[in-house]
């Protein structure tokens, strides 16, 4: 949990994959919750949070328009 979440938008990152978005979502939820791996009684809530952050991140990245870059 020491490293920062990397920027996933152009021009800082090209060819961002679903795995990259999932990893960023997981890292975010780990940081916010303070859990590297949640206890069994928190696992479902943890996974729902990762799923929600992943969806929100993908929506954000697909909606951003970077100046000087062609629309996707």
Q: Name the residue with tokens 């590297």.
A: 36
Taking the C-alpha atoms of residue 35 and residue 48, their distance in angstroms, rounded to an integer, is 14
Judged by average pLDDT, the poorest of 20-24, 49-53, 54-58, 66-70 is 66-70
Q: Name the residue with tokens 């791996």.
A: 37
pLDDT beyond 70 at 2: no
Number of H helices, E strands in the chain: 2, 0
Over range 43-66, report the average pLDDT: 95
Question: What pLDDT does residue 24 have?
Answer: 93
Report the largest interatomic distance among the alpha carbons of the chain, rounded to a whole angstrom: 48
Q: What is the pLDDT of residues 6-42, one digit of tens each?
A: 788 777 778 889 999 999 999 999 999 999 999 999 9
pLDDT beyond 60 at 71: no
Quick one: how far is CA 72 from the chain centroid?
Answer: 19
CB contact at 8 A, 39 and 46: no
Over range 44-70, report the average pLDDT: 91
């Amino acid at each position: 949990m020491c490293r920062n979440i990397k920027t996933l938008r152009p021009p800082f990152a090209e060819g961002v994959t679903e795995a990259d978005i999932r990893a960023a979502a997981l890292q975010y939820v780990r940081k916010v919750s303070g859990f590297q791996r949640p206890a069994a009684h928190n696992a479902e809530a943890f996974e729902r949070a990762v799923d929600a952050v992943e969806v929100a991140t993908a929506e954000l990245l697909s909606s951003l328009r970077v100046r000087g870059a062609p629309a996707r």
